[in-house]
Amino acid sequence: MSRWGETTGRTTVDNAQLALLLEVSGTPKPGNVDRHRDLDDLRFEHLIAGAVGARSGLQCAAAGDSVGAAFEQAVSGMSNQQGGNTQFGCLLLLVPLIKAAATQSLTPDGVRSVVDATTVEDAVDFYRAFEHVDVAVDEPPADADALDVRRGSEVAATLRERGLSLYDIMQLSADPDDRLGDGNAREWVSGFERTFEAADSLVADEGPVGDRTARVFLELLADQPDTLIAINHGEATARSVSERAAAVDGDLAAAERLAEEFVDEGYNPGTTADITAAALFVALERGLEV
Amino acid sequence: MSRWGETTGRTTVDNAQLALLLEVSGTPKPGNVDRHRDLDDLRFEHLIAGAVGARSGLQCAAAGDSVGAAFEQAVSGMSNQQGGNTQFGCLLLLVPLIKAAATQSLTPDGVRSVVDATTVEDAVDFYRAFEHVDVAVDEPPADADALDVRRGSEVAATLRERGLSLYDIMQLSADPDDRLGDGNAREWVSGFERTFEAADSLVADEGPVGDRTARVFLELLADQPDTLIAINHGEATARSVSERAAAVDGDLAAAERLAEEFVDEGYNPGTTADITAAALFVALERGLEV
């Protein structure tokens, strides 16, 4: 069903679950829950439980279920804890990557084929997943109110009427008019460009995986403004948060101070954490040792 | 295959894996790896990877495989990380508890039936598990050299010749002559008495699961000397470590100081952590919410 890692003895599903767990364990990841920090209503144990609950959906993806069905199953399982949305965005990236890995095509082209092949029913399942958990989302583009994810499975009729696949939905979110766009959707439409780059950084780096995770998170945050920060605090703040991450320049002691500041200021770069988790999965599949 | 938790939506296998993850996350657990502390060669991420790798064996237990076969599979999977022995003792307790839970009999009598029913082949598999990983063990009793676990699967012939079941082996280890005996083996022969008591404490306690885990670990350590400490440092030290845990009296701030001391002094109460993980599993099955 899932292939076994060539070097680590772990299955693809094991690696996906381990990626979720290593992401939350990596520290310091300024502004996010990590091994050393909780947020007010979101604690480390919620993310641990989310990673356990999501596993059945990850297994569905490896077994060949559709992206939408596997994703909805993963989100449903993830939601069986009291912290709310823990890993919705991570799972949106992991599911197509798992499907690519399960068919020995974990490359930008391989995952591009997976997302290209998504259907209207995948989009319907994706919208249904929003009913399991509250997800922070931006206002839809002015002409796309009918596709507001907050309307959940009510949107199904519109999707079918317009023949919109899940890939189409991601394209709409990746580059909406003049706004920043959704960082996870951009991964979907770019062959997971930042994910694969970050995976290369993780593999090339040295030292404990927790430190590598922190450094790659800082690189990603410095590189592009975080979508979740932009949604919650505006694009100017998102850009300034990224500049502050860039100023740390990979120094984990300086990042510890930034972590205290971001938690105090309420800045939570959740989309950057999603891409970090996806990159950890790719790196584990490519032999990153723990 | 596994039943679903009545209140949490998690399967028995999910709860067993989550118990392993919550055990290592609970802090402070003086002397052990926890969310805030690594040991020299054993880091948090190794235990996380151990919990992921062990899952296939936990699944075997829930699906009805024999105790020995499921245990060996779990230990084999657990060993796919670079920290060495992470959860051997936890798995020895979890496997029979999972089998009891999977047949709706997670009670002292139910798990007693599971361990009573173990066979010579379970004992053979148990010995085989020692070949996957280095486990700290005491010298065997003078008349039991032929059963030294360090001899691994070489012991199979002796086991078959003498007709010793895994339960018989645990009885030999629970109360060897005049020595303290193995704390995990005592669970096997006592209907998992301390495990069920600790599970009750976890459920009755209040606050985040990480804090409850720390408090129940301290209670267990105060209550009885730790087997791993006795093996590595002698029984007198094991008793003194337990007295120092008792003096903390559940105060987590005092326990933080004790955690620093025990790490500096090299005291690692691993068997107490095993029972804590087993208790977390029982508590999760009984509805402990995360």
Give CA–CA dist A232/B9, Å, rounded.
Answer: 31
For position A143, what pLDDT does the model report?
63
Contact indicator for B80, B63 with CB cutoff of 8 Å:
no
Q: What residues pair up with B4 in beta bridges, in sequence order?
A: B11
Average pLDDT, integer, range A172-194: 87
Measured between CA atoms, how close is A26 to chain B, in angstroms? 9
Give CA–CA dist B108/A192, Å, rounded.
Answer: 51
What is the per-residue pLDDT across B22-66, written as a single tens digit (0 to 9) for each?
999 999 999 999 999 999 889 999 999 999 999 999 999 999 999
Phi and psi angles of residue A54, each rounded to the nearest 5 degrees, phi first: -70, -15
Most confident of A2-6, A68-72, A228-232: A68-72
| pLDDT grade for B194, boundaries at 50, 70 and 90 | very high
| Angle value at C-alpha B226, between B223 and B227, nearest 5 degrees | 140
Mean of the per-residue pLDDT values of chain B? 93
Q: Which domains does chain B have, with CATH numbers?
A: 12-285 (1.10.4200.10)
Q: Provide ipTM, 2 decimals.
A: 0.94
Give CA–CA dist A54/B10, Å, rounded.
Answer: 10
The shortest CB-CB distance from B10 to any of A21, A46, A52 is to A52
Average pLDDT, integer, range A10-23: 98
| Angle value at C-alpha A76, between A65 and A202, nearest 5 degrees | 75
Q: Give the nearest chain B residue to A213 (CA atoms).
A: B45
Residues in chain A whose Cβ is within 8 Å of chain B: 8-11, 14, 17-18, 21-22, 25, 35-36, 43-46, 48-49, 51-53, 55-56, 77, 80-82, 208-210, 289-290
Res. A57: pLDDT tops 70: yes
The shortest CB-CB distance from A44 to any of B35, B45, B46 is to B35
Average pLDDT, integer, range A65-83: 97
Res. B159: pLDDT tops 70: yes
Average pLDDT, integer, range A250-266: 94
The shortest CB-CB distance from B45 to any of A11, A17, A290 is to A290
Measured between CA atoms, how close is B100 to chain A, in angstroms? 21
| Angle value at C-alpha B151, between B145 and B157, nearest 5 degrees | 80
What is the per-residue pLDDT across B203-213, written as a single tens digit (0 to 9) for each?
999 999 999 99
Res. A101: pLDDT tops 50: yes
B143, HSE (Cβ side, Cα atoms, 13 Å): 3
CB contact under 8 Å between A10 and B43, yes or no, is no
For position B91, what pLDDT does the model report?
98
CB contact under 8 Å between A52 and B81, yes or no, is no
Residues in chain B whose Cβ is within 8 Å of chain A: 8-11, 14, 17-18, 21-22, 25, 35-36, 43-46, 48-49, 51-53, 55-56, 77, 80-82, 208-210, 289-290
Which run of H or of E encompasses A20? helix A12-25
Average pLDDT, integer, range B205-231: 96
| pLDDT grade for A6, boundaries at 50, 70 and 90 | very low
Measured between CA atoms, how close is B180 to chain A, in angstroms? 35
In this prediction, what percent of chain B has a pLDDT beyond 70? 93
Q: How far is CA A106 from the centre of its chain?
A: 17
Average pLDDT, integer, range B138-146: 69
Residues of A in contact with B10 (CB under 8 A): 49, 52-53, 80
Res. B269: pLDDT tops 50: yes
| pLDDT grade for B151, boundaries at 50, 70 and 90 | confident
| pLDDT grade for B4, boundaries at 50, 70 and 90 | very low
For position A154, what pLDDT does the model report?
82
| pLDDT grade for B229, boundaries at 50, 70 and 90 | very high
What is the per-residue pLDDT across B67-89, written as a single tens digit (0 to 9) for each?
999 999 999 999 999 999 999 99
CB contacts < 8 A, A to B, total 82
Q: What residues pair up with A4 in beta bridges, in sequence order?
A: A11
Mean of the per-residue pLDDT values of chain A? 93
The shortest CB-CB distance from B35 to any of A14, A35, A56 is to A35
For position A177, what pLDDT does the model report?
63
Residues of A in contact with B82 (CB under 8 A): 289-290
Average pLDDT, integer, range A222-233: 95
Residues of A in contact with B8 (CB under 8 A): 80
User: Three-state SS across chain B?
Assistant: CCCECCCCCCEHHHHHHHHHHHHHHCCCCCCCCECCECCCCCCHHHHHHHHHHCHHHHHHHHCCCCHHHHHHHHHHHHCCCCCCCCCHHHHHHHHHHHHHHHCCCCCHHHHHHHHHCCCHHHHHHHHHHCCCCCCCCCCCCHHHHHHCHHHHHHHHHHHHHHCCCHHHHHHHHHCCCCCCCCHHHHHHHCCCHHHHHHHHHHHHCCCCHHHHHHHHHHHHHHHCCCHHHHHHHCHHHHHHHHHHHHHHCCCHHHHHHHHHHHHHHCCCCHHHHHHHHHHHHHHHHCCCCC
| pLDDT grade for A179, boundaries at 50, 70 and 90 | low
CB contact under 8 Å between B210 and A82, yes or no, is no
For position A250, what pLDDT does the model report?
87
CB contact under 8 Å between A44 and B210, yes or no, is yes
For position B148, what pLDDT does the model report?
84
**Before A28, cis peptide (omega within 30)?**
yes
Q: Which residue has the higher pLDDT, A153 or B14?
A: B14
Tokens 């798992």 belong to which residue? A98
Average pLDDT, integer, range B93-106: 98
Contacts of A156 (CB under 8 A, 6+ apart): A124, A127, A128
CB contact under 8 Å between B14 and A45, yes or no, is no
**Before B28, cis peptide (omega within 30)?**
yes
For position B178, what pLDDT does the model report?
56
| pLDDT grade for B240, boundaries at 50, 70 and 90 | very high
Preferred mutation among B36, B41, B48, B81 to probe A, highest tally of A CBs within 10 A? B48
Q: Give the nearest chain A residue to B36 (CA atoms).
A: A36
Res. A159: pLDDT tops 80: yes
Query: Within chain A, what is the greatest distance between any pair of CA atoms?
Result: 53
Which run of H or of E encompasses A9? none
CB contact under 8 Å between B210 and A43, yes or no, is yes
Record the tokens describing residue B20, joined without a space: 């392993």
| B234 C-beta neighbours (distance < 10 Å), count | 12
Give CA–CA dist B212/B192, Å, rounded.
Answer: 20
